[in-house]
């Protein structure tokens, strides 16, 4: 049974930082591309960032480029999202994802972790 468990969400002031973690189990982590999506209240779920299984290739939504950094530790079966210079519009539930490649459909979703940024 595949599990993606996010942690690290919370409330932070604008300009602050948070680091999200996603611990994966039940899948060959080192062969999966990993990513993050988010969904704000009343909005559709949107792509945030993705990283290839090697970690060599990363991709970001334009709205977070230069502020967020995705990384992975294959020895720990964990993917991270470092979020700096947070803005109120980053407020959302953040979901960890796993897929065969960074461009393929998402195969697995986590349950989500709430991030709230106050102005």
CB 60 within 8 A of CB 70: yes
The whole-number pLDDT of residue 103 equals 82
Residue 71 banded pLDDT, cuts 50, 70, 90: very high
The whole-number pLDDT of residue 100 equals 87
Helix, strand, coil fractions of the chain, as percent rounded to 5: 5, 50, 45
Residue 6 banded pLDDT, cuts 50, 70, 90: very high
Residue 88 banded pLDDT, cuts 50, 70, 90: very high
Helix and strand counts by DSSP (H, E) for the chain: 0, 11
Cβ–Cβ contacts within 10 Å for residue 44, how many? 6
CB 23 within 8 A of CB 5: yes
């Amino acid at each position: 049974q595949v599990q993606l468990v996010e942690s690290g969400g919370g409330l932070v002031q604008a300009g602050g930082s948070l680091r999200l973690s996603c611990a994966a189990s039940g899948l060959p982590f080192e062969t999966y591309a990993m990513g993050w999506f988010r969904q704000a209240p009343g909005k559709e779920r949107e792509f945030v960032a993705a990283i290839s299984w090697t970690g060599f290739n990363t991709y970001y939504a334009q709205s977070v480029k230069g502020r967020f950094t995705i990384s992975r530790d294959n020895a720990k079966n964990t993917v991270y999202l470092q979020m700096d210079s947070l803005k109120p519009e980053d407020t959302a539930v953040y979901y960890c994802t796993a897929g065969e490649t960074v461009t393929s459909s998402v195969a697995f979703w986590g349950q989500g972790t709430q991030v709230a940024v106050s102005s």
